[in-house]
Amino acid sequence: MPYQQQIRVRYGECDMQRVVFNANYFVYCDDVVDSWTRTALSDELEATGSSTDLHAIGFDFMLKSTNLTWHAPVRFGETIDMSATVSRWGNSSFDVSISGRVDGEPRFDAVITYVSVDPVSQRPAPVPDVVREALSR
């Protein structure tokens, strides 16, 4: 089941055309993935004494590539229903598919490829089993 989150569009996120500025779609996606990761791994993080530091469980991840398909504008004051799910697992990378809808109408879809990295060296590392399990629930 995909992770679900709502985001309300604020005035400062819009451009002179009165719609969400294009770069902010990526900000929304990043916010959803961050919230989802920390929520999914909350038990593991709390066991280390931290509620936010992914390094405490030996994990971090970085963006490799992203692709966003725009369907229709999102406007100031609208609430975006966001959903995210892992659509592909690799050894050290994974794809997250994100959908943004307003009142059930598709507004954008994105696919982000992340690379799991060692928190110290920041070099690619296998995705830890605990992360795979948490994000696959």
**Domain parsing of the chain, residue ranges:** 3-136
Query: Phi and psi (nearest 5°) for 66?
Result: -145, 150
3-class state of residue 130 by DSSP: helix
Q: Which CATH superfamily is domain 3-136 in?
A: Hotdog Thioesterase (3.10.129.10)
Say how many Å lie between the first and final Cα of the chain, rounded: 7
Distances (CA, A) of 91 to 29, 35, 124, 128: 23, 23, 10, 9
3-class state of residue 75 by DSSP: strand
The reported pTM is 0.93
Sheet of 79-89: strand order equals 3-8, 79-89, 93-102, 105-117, 60-70
CA–CA distance, 64 with 81 (Å, rounded to integer): 25
Query: How confident is the prediction along the chain (137 residues), in pLDDT tens digits per residue?
Result: 799 999 999 999 999 999 999 999 999 999 999 999 999 999 888 888 876 789 989 999 999 999 999 999 999 999 999 999 999 999 999 999 999 999 999 999 999 999 999 999 999 999 999 999 999 98
Are 136 and 87 in contact by the 8 Å Cβ rule? The answer is no
